[in-house]
C-alpha cells in the first residue's frame, strides 16, 4: 500500500478493537503529521501482523504513531522511516499513553531527533523478541523513554538492542530516559542482549532501571548485518539464551532477538566438519555444523559432539545456569594431531562454567593460540574453568 506522500497510509480511528487485523502488506511512502505509515487514535487497538512498514515520514512516529492505544504489533519490520521535522519523535514508533505490545519485530535504520527506533511518553510498553538495530537519534537512538506528569513503564525481554549511534552525547546510549514535572520512568530488562550493557542506558536521574537475570553484552553474530540479514548464526551466544519460560516455534528455549534459529534436529549426537555451515545446518550427520559452539548451543544434557579433523577458529563458551538444558557434554575430536581448536590470540580457547556437578569431557584435540590477557578475567589462555558464566 503506497501512500504517495499524501498522508498517513493507514489510519485507525473508528474504535477498531483487537479482533481487527491488518496483515500481509508493505506500508510505504506515507507522509503524515503523526504516523507516516500507520496512525492509531485512542479508540483503536487493531492488531498488526506480518507487515513491512518502510520509508514513511512524520513529525512523530515515522513508521507508526500510537495515540493512547494498546495494539499488539507482531512479526513486523519497521525500517527506513524518519521523524526529523517538527518535534522529531520516534523514527520507527511513537507511542503516547496506554500499553502497546511489540512481539518478534525488527526495528532498523530509522531516524529521529529523539528515539531513532522508538519514542514513548507516559506509556506502558512491552518488547518481546524484538531486534532494535542501526537506528539513529540525537538522543536515545534505540529507545527514548519520557514521562511527563505520569509514568512510563518499559519491559524488555528476549530482545537485541545494538548498533544504534547516539549523536547528541559524547557517549553513545542505546536507551535514554527523561522526565518532566512529576513523571517517572521504570525500565525492566531481562534475558536481552544490550550493546555495552548497563553503561549504554542513560538514566539521567530520570527513573529506575531493573537489570534482571540473563542479560548479555556480546556480538549477536548475525548472518549478514551489512545487507540487513539479522538472522542468528548457529554459533551465536544468543541461541537458546532467552527466558527459560519462553520458547521458539520449534519447541526449544527461546533465542534472543526477532529471528530465532529454528532447528528440527535435537541430537543426542552432533556433528561438526570444516565443510559444514552455521546458517542453515541442523547438526545432524548429513547436515553438520561448521562450529563446535553451535553444538554446545543446541545440545541437551549428556549429548555428544563429534568433530571431524580440521582447524576450528573459535573461543568456545560452555554456559551453565540453573535453567539450562545442558549440564554435561562430551566433545570428541577425530584425532588430536589434526583436530585443532585455535583461539586466534583473541581470548580463551575454551571457557567452561559449572555449578559443581556438571561434567564436560573434551578429548582428542590440539588447543592452541589462546590469549588470557584478551579474555574476560585474564586467566586460562588455553582452557578456563570457572564456577559460573554470567
pLDDT (mean) for 328-349: 93
> What pLDDT is stored for residue 376 in this prediction?
64
Sign of CA dihedral 253, 256, 260, 266: negative
Which range, of 53-57, 167-171, 182-186, 332-336, averages the lowest pLDDT? 167-171
Beta-strand relationship, 222-224 and 229-232: antiparallel
CA–CA separation, 367 and 150 (whole Å): 57
pLDDT at residue 390 above 50?
Answer: no
Q: Quote the percentage of the chain above a pLDDT of 70.
A: 93
pLDDT at residue 148 above 90?
Answer: no
pLDDT at residue 354 above 80?
Answer: no
Q: Quote the percentage of the chain above a pLDDT of 90.
A: 77
Contacts of 286 (CB under 8 A, 6+ apart): none
CA–CA separation, 47 and 22 (whole Å): 6
Contacts of 135 (CB under 8 A, 6+ apart): 91, 92, 107, 108, 109, 110, 111, 112, 116, 117, 141, 142, 164
Q: What region does 9 belong to: left with phi over 0, alpha with psi -120 to 50, or beta?
A: alpha
> Does CATH place domain 263-386 in 2.160.20.10?
yes
CA–CA separation, 46 and 39 (whole Å): 11
pLDDT at residue 182 above 80?
Answer: no
The Cα-based distances of 211 to 156, 157, 161, 194, 353 in angstroms read 10, 11, 14, 11, 22
The Cα-based distances of 98 to 15, 47, 59, 388 in angstroms read 15, 15, 20, 40
Give the number of C-alpha atoms closer than 13 A to the C-alpha of residue 39, restricted to the C-beta side. 21
Length of the chain counted residue by residue: 390
DSSP state letter for 284: B
CA–CA separation, 246 and 238 (whole Å): 14
pLDDT (mean) for 236-256: 95
End-to-end CA distance of the chain: 46
pLDDT at residue 389 above 60?
Answer: no
> What pLDDT is stored for residue 217 in this prediction?
95
> What pLDDT is stored for residue 332 in this prediction?
98
Q: Can you tell me whether residue 222 is helix, strand or coil?
A: strand
pLDDT (mean) for 215-223: 96
Give the number of C-alpha atoms closer than 13 A to the C-alpha of residue 46, restricted to the C-beta side. 20
pLDDT (mean) for 122-138: 96
Residue that the C-alpha cell 523478541 belongs to? 129
Residue 328, all three cell numbers: 554435561
* Per-domain residue ranges of the chain: 10-211, 263-386
pLDDT at residue 359 above 90?
Answer: no
pLDDT tens per residue, range 82-101: 999 899 999 999 999 889 99
Amino acid at each position: 500500500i503506497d501512500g504517495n506522500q499524501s498522508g498517513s497510509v493507514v489510519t485507525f480511528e473508528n474504535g477498531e478493537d483487537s479482533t481487527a487485523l491488518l496483515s500481509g502488506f508493505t506500508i510505504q511512502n506515507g507522509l503524515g503529521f503523526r504516523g507516516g505509515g500507520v496512525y492509531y487514535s485512542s479508540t483503536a487497538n487493531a492488531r498488526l501482523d506480518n507487515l513491512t512498514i518502510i520509508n514513511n515520514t512524520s513529525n512523530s512516529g515515522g513508521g507508526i504513531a500510537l495515540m493512547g492505544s494498546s495494539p499488539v504489533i507482531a512479526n513486523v519490520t519497521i525500517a527506513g522511516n524518519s521523524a526529523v521535522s517538527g518535534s522529531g519523535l520516534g523514527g520507527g514508533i511513537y507511542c503516547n499513553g496506554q500499553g502497546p505490545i511489540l512481539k518478534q519485530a525488527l526495528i532498523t535504520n530509522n531516524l529521529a531527533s529523539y528515539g531513532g527506533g522508538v519514542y514513548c511518553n507516559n506509556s506502558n510498553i512491552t518488547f518481546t523478541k524484538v531486534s532494535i538495530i542501526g537506528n539513529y537519534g540525537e538522543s536515545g537512538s534505540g529507545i527514548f523513554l519520557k514521562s511527563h506528569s505520569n509514568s512510563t513503564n518499559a519491559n524488555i525481554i528476549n530482545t537485541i538492542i545494538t548498533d544504534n549511534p547516539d549523536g547528541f552525547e559524547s557517549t553513545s546510549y542505546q536507551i535514554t530516559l527523561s522526565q518532566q514535572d512529576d513523571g517517572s520512568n521504570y525500565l525492566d530488562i531481562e534475558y536481552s542482549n544490550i550493546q555495552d550493557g548497563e553503561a549504554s542506558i542513560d538514566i539521567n536521574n530520570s527513573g529506575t532501571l531493573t537489570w534482571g537475570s540473563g542479560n548479555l553484552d556480546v556480538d549477536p553474530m548475525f548472518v549478514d548485518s551489512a545487507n540487513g540479514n539479522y538472522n542468528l548464526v548457529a554459533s551465536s551466544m544468543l541461541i537458546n539464551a532467552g527466558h527459560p519460560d519462553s520458547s521458539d516455534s520449534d519447541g526449544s528455549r527461546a533465542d534472543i532477538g526477532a529471528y530465532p534459529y529454528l532447528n528440527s534436529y535435537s541430537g543426542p549426537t552432533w556433528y561438526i566438519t570444516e565443510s559444514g555451515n552455521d546458517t542453515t545446518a541442523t547438526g545432524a550427520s548429513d547436515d553438520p555444523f561448521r562450529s563446535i559452539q553451535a553444538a554446545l548451543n543446541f545440545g541437551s544434557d549428556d549429548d555428544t559432539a563429534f568433530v571431524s579433523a580440521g582447524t576450528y577458529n573459535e573461543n568456545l563458551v560452555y554456559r551453565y545456569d540453573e535453567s539450562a538444558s545442558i549440564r554435561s557434554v562430551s566433545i570428541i575430536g577425530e584425532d588430536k594431531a589434526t583436530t585443532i581448536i585455535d583461539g586466534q590470540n583473541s581470548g580463551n580457547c575454551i571457557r567452561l562454567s559449572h555449578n559443581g556437578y556438571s561434567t564436560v569431557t573434551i578429548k582428542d584435540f590440539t588447543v592452541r593460540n589462546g590469549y588470557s590477557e584478551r579474555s574476560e578475567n585474564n586467566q586460562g589462555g588455553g582452557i578456563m574453568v570457572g564456577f559460573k558464566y554470567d
